Amino acid sequence: MPTIAVVNVNTSTTMTATISAAAQSVAAPDTRIIGVTPTRGPESVESHLEGALSAVGVIEAVRAQSTLGPPVDAWILAGYGDQGREALQELVDGPVVDITEAAAMTAMLLGDLYAVVTTLKRTVPMIRDRLRLAGLLDRCSSITATDLAVLELEADPSATDHAIIAQSREALDNGAEVICLGCGGMAGRARELSGILGAPVVDGVTAAVGLAESLIGQSLSTSRTGTFAKQYGKIITGFPTLDQQRE
């Protein structure tokens, strides 16, 4: 039974539940989904500073999960535009799929240009930069914001849908043919929104599950020949679960 751990980037357990449910909804019958919630870090990630703190919370939670939990075959990093995918690739044995990248790849299979609709305006450059480094920005026609904070998404689902639809329509009018939901917290809405918009809407979490299952099925994992090679041991102060790597 393949096991996929879906790692939330903030400390909200309700968001982990939302994300895990979305993941489970598309997973193969024999795939087990485990939700992981950091015990440290911000309650939501909407800035570079919060992203940096979140990355460490994610790393520690993944280290704990991989040490203490059942074997995990693939990891999904469920933060949109956040840093940390590369660090996880170094930390764990199995493959790591970032939802920002999974959404973009999936969208690129479905139409000419795609657009991302996200939360606050200040996160737009963060998402753009993640896509640029991932080499997936060329076919992105726009990244725009609903001006709803992450924690507002759950508070008023109807207003959230309304805001996403408005931004999506504008993006479609300007040449996008596919919409990516630009926040882990938007998980679970793609099918309904797709019906309303008349265009494919991609949920990064469900997109990532397909990619993770595919990598497991092909026995593929992170390359260790270059930047993600296993590191020699080194003294790391103040992070007890990550230190003592040098023997």
Q: How far apart are CA 47 and CA 35, in angstroms?
A: 23
Using the rule CB under 8 A, is 217 a contact of a copy of itself?
A: yes
Out of 49, 155, 159, 196, which residue is the one contacting a copy of itself (CB under 8 A)? Answer: 49
141 to 170, contacts with a copy of itself by CB under 8 A?
none
Q: How far apart are CA 26 and CA 238, in angstroms?
A: 39
> Minimal distance in Å, beta carbon 18 to a copy of itself?
17
Query: Which residues, 6 or more positions from 81, have their beta carbon under 8 angstroms from its beta carbon?
Result: 100, 118, 123, 126, 127, 129, 130, 182
Tokens of 145: 């914001």
SS in 3 state form for 114-161? EEEEECCHHHHHHHHHHHHHCCCCCCEEEEEECCCCHHHHHHCHHHHH
> Minimal distance in Å, beta carbon 108 to a copy of itself?
6
179 to 198, contacts with a copy of itself by CB under 8 A?
190-191, 194, 198
Binding segment for a copy of itself among 44-52, 65-73, 156-164, 180-188 (CB under 8 A)?
Answer: 44-52
Using the rule CB under 8 A, is 125 a contact of a copy of itself?
A: yes
Binding segment for a copy of itself among 65-73, 119-127, 155-163, 180-188 (CB under 8 A)?
Answer: 119-127
Using the rule CB under 8 A, is 241 a contact of a copy of itself?
A: no
